[in-house]
A and B are shown apart, each in its own frame.
Chain A
Amino acid sequence: MLQKADTNFGFAVGASLLIFFIGGILTTVVPPLIDKTWAKPFSNSDPAKGITGELKPYTEQELKGRAIYIREGCTYCHTQQTRTILADTKRSGWRGVDSPVSTPDEFVYDYPHLFGTKRTGPDLSRVGGKYDMQWHRTHFRNPRDLVPGSVMPPFPWIAANEEEFQAMVAYLQTLGRAKNWRPDGDFEK
């Protein structure tokens, strides 16, 4: 049948588009219609149903911080997803408590998404609340002062610009916080 595409220009064009669109539509348009958790923000107040918490929209300051994160290309080295892999829940964990895995309903307000594909530095999906202001300031100024052996570039212009620095930290502290996963809420400010 497809031999017609050898000689018939219109047929070749039509057939290659049709065949492409089957998979194209079934994998892009259809999934969000089937899986509603992609668009419904996380919210749970009943401890019996599991971890509690609520995903809140970003504040203006947090969005400013997020824009800096995008501008500096942080996403090329830091993923934001605790995968369904045991080691991921341990590494995203903190002070002996394992982190819950990331779920689609925690990312509904992310625009653009920052899941990332490469983990040159550690995953940041649960970094919110782990380090305080002073730690971040020192770390942005020169990561190797706090973490010898780190290959992260220094970002002195963020540490030195109070507005940018505050916004940046405000954003970082939101990461992974929709779920109240710490036992005593022992988050740093």
Chain B
Amino acid sequence: MADANAQDRATEIQRVTGAEPVVHEDLTVKWFLLSSVAYFFIVGIIAIIIAAKFVWPELLSTVAMFTYGRMRPLHVNGMLFGWLLACDMGLIFYLVPRLCGVKIWSEKLGLATAALWNVIVLGAVVSLLMGWTSGLEYAELPLPLDVLVVVAWIMFGVNIFMTIATRRYQQMYVSIWYIMGTILWTAFVYLTGNFATLFATGVNQANLNWMYVHNAVGLIFTPAGLALAYYFIPRSSNLPLHSHKLSMIGFWSLAFVYVWTGAHHMLHGPISQWLQTIAIAFSVMLIIPVWAVVFNLFSTIKGHWHEMGENVPLKFLMSGVVFYLLTCFQGPMHSLRAVNAIVSKTDWIPGHAHMAVLGAFSFFAIAGTYYILPRIFRTPLHSQPLAQWSYWFFMSGGLGFFVTLWLGGFWQGWQWNNPAIPFIDTVIALGPVWLVRFFSGILMFAGIVCFAYNVLATALGEKKALEA
């Protein structure tokens, strides 16, 4: 029973044999999903505006609220917490009860969490546009909102942990470990980045800040995203997971290795050299958890790659795994001092970061959303062709974005390392790169539109199906 399919079959058997069937209401799932998709769309518009500002710096520049310095943190926080984390939470509310064979511990608490999460995201929009920010990257939200995030996270954690504690199947599938890891580690990572930083200054504070920044990706979005990949890849392909043992190696090495790497954000910078070296050593070790996971998922699908053609969730999932492999190969390579001296602080970095957050983890979340939509709304997906279009828009826009920024960033890094070139010339040289990035952003936004419309139409389709 170590794979997702087996547990679902067990539910089937219970149903056939007359054991009390579990009916999932999925109200919390729906609320999280619909609001996260709405933020995906809204923040997508902001993303395009800030991409345009690189090409046309005067755009919307007469209004303080719409300057780049205020919209960028809104873009980052909106995408991370408004879209991706909210969508991950919705999907977790879907898969935990199913993997445990019980109903969610408290649907009411779940709905309250969803409501509070929306209050936080809307609060973030207002405060960041007004310039009320803590000034720490990824942790910009002002203190009152940080407190609300902690409250919401406790509500979420209690609900999920109580569901797991009352599970019907003794064995916990790998996705469950990752979800537990996400909830526990996020709590401490978030406290470090948003509260411990209050009591530190200078380099000490920066060290805590980078521990948070790095682990927001490594110990929040990675385990949440992998929980989805481990569940939805076997489910949408109807294949058993290749190796249980390998998934254990991946999980426990992730738990150990990730947290050490924060200082690699300040390589060559004013932070102790020995700490930089530790961060580099552990960054390279990240290859272990990543390749364990990727090998496991590739082997699961081995011989069935052709099924990606018609299967939209599987398409997003396996592309996400490829991007995960690439982004997590780049990461250890950037941390080597020689490479870092070229790519650090350049436009390469947003190319890398977007491949992780959009290419890997958002692809997993989109796949999960496509997979569960017909199941929670009990109606077929509004449009398969539109779903295919959304994939190709995300894929072409994403690749355009990543590849141009890598090339541009690498080029920029070489120029910076030649002090004979005036800085402004290295800015002017990037003009064409930023223009291509802007058009890639338009393609990605087209993907968001197709995806969001499909979600909305399917959700409204449920109403029609009920009325008919």
Among residues of A, the one whose C-beta sits closest to the C-beta of B259 is: A23
Contacts of A134 in B (CB 8 A): none
Q: Are B427 and A17 in contact (CB-based, < 8 A)?
A: no
Minimum distance in angstroms from B334 CB to a CB of chain A: 12
Contacts of B295 in A (CB 8 A): none
Tell me if B346 is interfacial: C-beta within 8 Å of chain A: yes
Chain A interface category by residue count: 35 or more
Tell me if A22 is interfacial: C-beta within 8 Å of chain B: yes
Q: How far does the alpha carbon of A103 sit from the alpha carbon of B203 in the complex, in Å?
A: 9
- Most B CB contacts (10 A, CB to CB) among A71, A112, A121 go to A112
Q: Are A76 and B260 in contact (CB-based, < 8 A)?
A: no
Q: Are B427 and A5 in contact (CB-based, < 8 A)?
A: no
Tell me if B332 is interfacial: C-beta within 8 Å of chain A: no
Minimum distance in angstroms from B191 CB to a CB of chain A: 11
Of the candidate stretches B11-19, B59-67, B442-450, the one touching chain A is: B59-67
Q: Return the CB mask of A5-19 against B: 1 if under 8 Å, else 0.
A: 111010011011101
Q: How far does the alpha carbon of A38 sit from the alpha carbon of B207 in the complex, in Å?
A: 10
Q: Are B272 and A85 in contact (CB-based, < 8 A)?
A: no
Minimum distance in angstroms from A176 CB to a CB of chain B: 12
Q: A13-B184, A113-B203 are in contact. Are A73 and B272 (CB under 8 A)?
A: no
Q: Are A9 and B172 in contact (CB-based, < 8 A)?
A: yes
Q: Are A104 and B271 in contact (CB-based, < 8 A)?
A: yes
Task: State which residues 414-434 of B face A: CB under 8 Å.
Answer: 416-419, 423-425, 427-428, 434
Contacts of B188 in A (CB 8 A): 20-21, 24
Q: How far does the alpha carbon of A9 sit from the alpha carbon of B279 in the complex, in Å?
A: 31
Q: How many residues of B contact A (CB 8 A)?
A: 84
Q: Return the CB mask of B111-133 against A: 1 if under 8 Å, else 0.
A: 00000000000000000000111
- Within 8 Å by CB of A119, from B255, B345, B434, lies B345
Contacts of A32 in B (CB 8 A): 200, 204, 207
Q: Return the CB mask of A122-164 against B: 1 if under 8 Å, else 0.
A: 1000000000000000000001100111111111110000000
Q: How far does the alpha carbon of A75 sit from the alpha carbon of B451 in the complex, in Å?
A: 34
- Within 8 Å by CB of A3, from B57, B248, B270, lies B248
Q: Are A152 and B57 in contact (CB-based, < 8 A)?
A: yes
Tell me if B110 is interfacial: C-beta within 8 Å of chain A: no
Tell me if B341 is interfacial: C-beta within 8 Å of chain A: yes
Tell me if B349 is interfacial: C-beta within 8 Å of chain A: yes
Q: Are B131 and A71 in contact (CB-based, < 8 A)?
A: yes
Q: Are B57 and A70 in contact (CB-based, < 8 A)?
A: no
Q: Are B208 and A28 in contact (CB-based, < 8 A)?
A: yes
Q: Are A13 and B180 in contact (CB-based, < 8 A)?
A: yes
Q: How far does the alpha carbon of A75 sit from the alpha carbon of B131 in the complex, in Å?
A: 13
Tell me if B252 is interfacial: C-beta within 8 Å of chain A: yes
User: What total of A-B pairs shows CB separation below 8 Å?
Assistant: 222
Q: Are B202 and A107 in contact (CB-based, < 8 A)?
A: yes
Minimum distance in angstroms from B124 CB to a CB of chain A: 14
Q: How far does the alpha carbon of A150 sit from the alpha carbon of B341 in the complex, in Å?
A: 24
Q: Are B417 and A87 in contact (CB-based, < 8 A)?
A: yes
| Contact residues of B: prevailing secondary structure | helix
Q: Are B204 and A39 in contact (CB-based, < 8 A)?
A: yes
Q: Are A27 and B270 in contact (CB-based, < 8 A)?
A: no
Among residues of A, the one whose C-beta sits closest to the C-beta of B249 is: A2
Q: Are B57 and A151 in contact (CB-based, < 8 A)?
A: yes
Minimum distance in angstroms from B79 CB to a CB of chain A: 15
Minimum distance in angstroms from B321 CB to a CB of chain A: 23
Tell me if B177 is interfacial: C-beta within 8 Å of chain A: yes
- Within 8 Å by CB of A91, from B64, B252, B267, B419, lies B419
Q: A83-B268, A85-B417 are in contact. Are A16 and B67 (CB under 8 A)?
A: no
Q: Are B252 and A26 in contact (CB-based, < 8 A)?
A: no
Task: State which residues 62-89 of B face A: CB under 8 Å.
Answer: 62, 64, 67-70, 72-73
Q: How far does the alpha carbon of A150 sit from the alpha carbon of B57 in the complex, in Å?
A: 8
Tell me if B257 is interfacial: C-beta within 8 Å of chain A: yes
Q: Are A115 and B206 in contact (CB-based, < 8 A)?
A: yes
Tell me if B209 is interfacial: C-beta within 8 Å of chain A: yes
Minimum distance in angstroms from A164 CB to a CB of chain B: 11
Minimum distance in angstroms from B464 CB to a CB of chain A: 42
Q: How far does the alpha carbon of A110 sit from the alpha carbon of B67 in the complex, in Å?
A: 24
Q: Are A16 and B69 in contact (CB-based, < 8 A)?
A: no
Minimum distance in angstroms from A139 CB to a CB of chain B: 13
Q: How far does the alpha carbon of A155 sit from the alpha carbon of B58 in the complex, in Å?
A: 11
Q: How far does the alpha carbon of A17 sit from the alpha carbon of B252 in the complex, in Å?
A: 11
Tell me if B266 is interfacial: C-beta within 8 Å of chain A: yes
Contacts of B267 in A (CB 8 A): 83
Q: How far does the alpha carbon of A32 sit from the alpha carbon of B269 in the complex, in Å?
A: 16
Minimum distance in angstroms from A175 CB to a CB of chain B: 13
Q: How far does the alpha carbon of A111 sit from the alpha carbon of B134 in the complex, in Å?
A: 10
- Within 8 Å by CB of B255, from A16, A28, A104, A144, lies A16
Contacts of A180 in B (CB 8 A): none
- Most A CB contacts (10 A, CB to CB) among B255, B260, B425 go to B255
Q: Are B259 and A24 in contact (CB-based, < 8 A)?
A: yes
Q: How far does the alpha carbon of A83 sit from the alpha carbon of B344 in the complex, in Å?
A: 11
Q: A107-B202, A112-B136, A113-B209 are in contact. Are A17 and B256 (CB under 8 A)?
A: no
Q: How far does the alpha carbon of A108 sit from the alpha carbon of B275 in the complex, in Å?
A: 18
Q: How far does the alpha carbon of A13 sit from the alpha carbon of B419 in the complex, in Å?
A: 52
Contacts of B197 in A (CB 8 A): 112
Tell me if A77 is interfacial: C-beta within 8 Å of chain B: yes
Q: Return the CB mask of B268-306 against A: 1 if under 8 Å, else 0.
A: 111110010011001000000000000000000000000
Contacts of B62 in A (CB 8 A): 156
Contacts of A153 in B (CB 8 A): 53, 57-58, 61, 67-69
Contacts of A154 in B (CB 8 A): 57-58, 61
A2-B252, A16-B184, A108-B201 provided; 5 other pairs, C-beta below 8 A? Answer: A28-B208, A32-B204, A38-B272, A83-B267, A117-B137
> Can you give 6 A-B contacts (C-beta < 8 A)?
A22-B256, A24-B192, A27-B262, A38-B272, A101-B270, A153-B68
- Shortest 3 CB-CB contacts between residues of A and residues of B: A73-B69, A90-B419, A107-B202
